[in-house]
């Protein structure tokens, strides 16, 4: 049975374009092969398509008029509502029209609406500071439901906006979701409480972290570049953050934590304003404020005290070293 190909339209507004750049790094297979495998045709993408200027506007107009049915609309970047709700901080080139108006018209006719990245989902980095640009997401304004399309918005498929949150996204988060949509197997059960795909948010960044042994013994890093666990001192939110970053390799082998810097919880609404320095853990009476999700505080404190008392010298030493100072060794045989 041959399936009708699904078409995909991609727009970019108040963002950095980094989700597209991350996406074209997709591997196993590459992005275009992945689209072909899912039966997805790119109607228009600002970085990849030939059509420019009036030809590109014509593509959008045909979608709005219903002449071209649209299966999947992807927005990358925040919705720019400022100044004073006019949308003039982003007027779409060649159209004299606020970009947010184009987004609204296109979302109204789309089968699925996908927010690509935390900007499009929640406002993201563009909404940081005093948010004088009035940036918001498609269906959220930070943690508040609403955004441009409103809490009750449903695409033609009946689904709310699908939020592929992340700053940037991992390419697989999007390609796998698109494959599920194309196969007709993406329903509400595939979304979490922020309408993010459970395929990656049913994990914590903590899962698979290569520093887990340090975590177990509360052997903490003190400076960025130390090998120890970054939760106690360096702001790491991996035990609370929802993503599979340490299970699914980035750029072949990496992750934030493997790269030596803390998780900043970039898949979460409001991550751009944590209320403290990104690389310092806020504490009350010496105890980190942000404890692991669903762990009773008293237990955490008790277990932490116990494990600190039991920390092997190897971990204690390595935790505050920028290189492996003490290697694991076999008790019965010395290294030459």
- Residue 4: what are its φ and ψ, rounded to 5°? -70, 130
In the bound complex, what is the minimum distance in angstroms from residue 168's beta carbon to other proteins? 6
The size of the interface with other proteins (CB under 8 A), counted in residues, is 80
In the bound complex, what is the minimum distance in angstroms from residue 131's beta carbon to other proteins? 9
Closer residue to other proteins (CB): 151 or 251:
251
- Of 7, 12, 267, 268, the one binding other proteins (CB under 8 A) is 12
| Rounded Cα–Cα distance for residues 211 and 227 (Å) | 8
**What residues have CB less than 8 Å from 51, skipping those under 6 apart?**
44, 58, 59
| Rounded Cα–Cα distance for residues 97 and 88 (Å) | 8
- Residue 128: what are its φ and ψ, rounded to 5°? -70, 175
**Nearest residue to 126 (alpha-carbon basis) of 235, 15, 203:** 15
18 binds other proteins (CB under 8 A): yes
Question: Where in 139-198 is the site for other proteins (CB under 8 A)?
Answer: 167-168
57 binds other proteins (CB under 8 A): yes
Closer residue to other proteins (CB): 60 or 191:
60
- Of 132, 332, 334, 335, the one binding other proteins (CB under 8 A) is 132
Closer residue to other proteins (CB): 185 or 323:
323
Closer residue to other proteins (CB): 54 or 329:
54
Question: Where in 196-225 is the site for other proteins (CB under 8 A)?
Answer: 223-225
Enclosing H/E stretch for 76: strand 70-76
Q: For residue 31, what are the CA distances in angstroms to 20, 37, 105?
A: 10, 10, 28
- Of 30, 150, 202, 299, the one binding other proteins (CB under 8 A) is 30
- Of 1, 2, 4, 50, the one binding other proteins (CB under 8 A) is 50
Closer residue to other proteins (CB): 37 or 302:
37
Checking phi first, is residue 60 left (phi over 0); if not, alpha (psi -120 to 50) or beta?
alpha
- Of 1, 2, 53, 294, the one binding other proteins (CB under 8 A) is 53
- Of 7, 72, 90, 206, the one binding other proteins (CB under 8 A) is 90
| Rounded Cα–Cα distance for residues 28 and 245 (Å) | 17
Question: Where in 270-329 is the site for other proteins (CB under 8 A)?
Answer: 277-279, 322-323
| Rounded Cα–Cα distance for residues 41 and 32 (Å) | 9
**Nearest residue to 232 (alpha-carbon basis) of 221, 242, 223, 216:** 221
| CA 229 to chain centroid | 22
User: Would you give the DSSP letter of residue 245?
Assistant: T
Question: Where in 240-269 is the site for other proteins (CB under 8 A)?
Answer: 249-262, 264
| Rounded Cα–Cα distance for residues 5 and 105 (Å) | 23
- Of 54, 154, 297, 329, the one binding other proteins (CB under 8 A) is 54
In the bound complex, what is the minimum distance in angstroms from residue 292's beta carbon to other proteins? 21
**What residues have CB less than 8 Å from 12, skipping those under 6 apart?**
20, 46, 75, 76, 77
In the bound complex, what is the minimum distance in angstroms from residue 112's beta carbon to other proteins? 21
**Nearest residue to 149 (alpha-carbon basis) of 120, 171, 174, 128:** 120
In the bound complex, what is the minimum distance in angstroms from residue 53's beta carbon to other proteins? 4
63 touches 109 (CB < 8 A): yes
**Nearest residue to 316 (alpha-carbon basis) of 197, 194, 210, 228:** 228
- Of 40, 106, 115, 133, the one binding other proteins (CB under 8 A) is 133
- Of 94, 158, 282, 312, the one binding other proteins (CB under 8 A) is 94
Site string for other proteins, 63-82 (x = CB under 8 A): -----------------x--
2 binds other proteins (CB under 8 A): no
Choices 28-36, 105-113, 188-196, 206-214 (CB under 8 A): range interacting with other proteins: 28-36
């Amino acid at each position: 049975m041959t399936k009708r190909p699904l078409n995909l339209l991609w727009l970019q507004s108040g963002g950095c374009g980094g989700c597209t750049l991350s996406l074209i790094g997709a591997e196993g297979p590459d992005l275009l092969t992945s689209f072909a495998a899912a039966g997805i045709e790119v109607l228009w993408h600002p970085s990849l398509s030939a059509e420019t200027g009036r030809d590109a506007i014509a593509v959008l107009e045909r979608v709005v008029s219903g002449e071209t049915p649209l299966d999947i609309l992807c927005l990358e970047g925040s919705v720019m509502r400022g100044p004073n709700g006019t949308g003039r901080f982003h007027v779409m080139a060649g159209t004299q029209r606020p970009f947010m108006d184009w987004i609204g018209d296109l979302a109204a006719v789309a089968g699925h609406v996908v927010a690509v990245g935390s900007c499009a989902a929640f406002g993201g980095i563009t909404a940081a500071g005093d948010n004088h640009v009035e940036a918001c997401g498609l269906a959220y304004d930070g943690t508040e439901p609403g955004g441009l399309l409103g809490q009750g918005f449903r695409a033609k498929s009946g689904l709310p906006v699908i939020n592929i949150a992340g700053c940037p996204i991992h390419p697989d988060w999007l390609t796998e979701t698109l494959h599920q949509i194309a196969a007709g197997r993406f329903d509400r059960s595939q979304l979490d409480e922020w309408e993010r795909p459970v395929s990656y948010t049913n994990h914590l960044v903590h899962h698979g972290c290569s520093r887990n042994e340090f975590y177990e013994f509360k052997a903490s890093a003190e400076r960025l570049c130390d090998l120890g666990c970054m939760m106690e001192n360096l702001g790491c939110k991996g035990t609370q953050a929802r993503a599979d970053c340490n299970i699914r390799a980035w750029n072949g082998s990496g992750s934030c934590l493997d790269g030596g810097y803390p998780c900043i919880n970039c898949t979460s609404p409001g991550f751009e304003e944590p209320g403290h320095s990104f690389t310092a853990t806020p504490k009350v009476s010496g105890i980190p404020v942000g404890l692991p999700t669903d762990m009773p505080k008293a237990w955490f404190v008790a277990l932490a005290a116990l494990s600190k008392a039991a920390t092997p010298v190897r971990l204690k030493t390595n935790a505050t070293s920028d290189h492996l100072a003490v290697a694991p060794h076999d008790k019965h045989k010395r290294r030459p």
